[in-house]
Amino acid sequence: MAENRKKFLLDENLAKLAKWLRMLGYDVAIYRSINNEKKISLCNKERRVYLTRSNKIAKRKEIFSRMLIRTEKYDEQLLEMSHLLEFNNKMLSSRCLVCNDKLQKIQVEKIKDLIPKYVTDNFSDFKICRKCGKIFWNGSHYAAMKSKLKNLLTT
């Protein structure tokens, strides 16, 4: 199922939306410091949907998959593109919110010196991003994000 999921390329001004799409488990790229032609080429090469707030980019004549995001707030943006998204519990928190790499499970013993003791005392499932080193666990922040996404996308 994950192999058939949509992949996205977002403009830098949609970074907050990128975080929420990654929370849903989507592969979301934000390429900084490259021109629009290269972004369009990457969309075609990597089979990504280009999400942009730019009318100029959305109206380009080249053939590439794109969507103009008209709203400014991330939750409204998620609703705007909800027809492209699915809420899948198994995919939640499968990607790093920071760098987009896939997360891997890690034993608490290997990271206990890197996170606060109260976290290791209260949580048992941990994931790490091997690319940027960020550590994730399903705490209260995760529960709040999951609830918000479920409410936005399943109602």
Supply the pLDDT for residue 3.
58
Q: Is 61 found in the same domain as 110?
A: no
In a domain, 92, yes or no: no
Q: 3-class SS at 103?
A: strand
Per-residue pLDDT of the chain (155 residues; tens, 9 = 90+): 455 789 999 999 999 999 999 999 999 999 989 999 999 999 999 999 999 999 999 999 999 999 999 999 999 999 999 999 999 988 999 999 999 999 999 999 999 999 999 999 999 999 999 999 999 999 888 989 999 999 988 86
**Is 4 exposed, middle or buried (CB count within 10 Å of its CB: 0-12, 13-18, 19+)?**
exposed
Domain count for the chain, please give it. Answer: 2
Do 70 and 136 lie in one domain? The reply is: no
Which of 25, 50, 84 delimits the end of a domain? 84
Our CA angle for 45, 48, 51, nearest 5°, is 135
Q: Is residue 34 part of a domain?
A: yes
- 118-144 per-residue burial string, b: 16 or more CB within 10 A, e: under 16: ebbeeeeebbbbeeeeeebbbeeeeee
Whether residue 122 is found in the same domain as residue 66 = no
| pTM, 2 dp | 0.91
Do residues 76 and 127 share a domain?
no
d(CA 46, CA 109): 37
Q: 17 and 59 in one domain?
A: yes
Residue 132: C-alpha distances to residues 15, 110, 145, 149 (Å): 17, 16, 22, 25
Q: What is the pLDDT of residue 4?
A: 75
Q: Which of 52, 84, 116 is the last residue of a domain?
A: 84
Query: Do residues 68 and 27 share a domain?
Result: yes
On whether both 63 and 137 belong to a single domain, the answer is no
Q: 52 near 65, Cβ under 8 Å? A: no
| pLDDT at site 1 | 43
My answer on whether 68 and 136 are in the same domain is: no
Q: Which of 84, 115, 138 is the C-terminal boundary of a domain?
A: 84
Q: What residue numbers bound the domain in which 144 lies?
A: 103-153
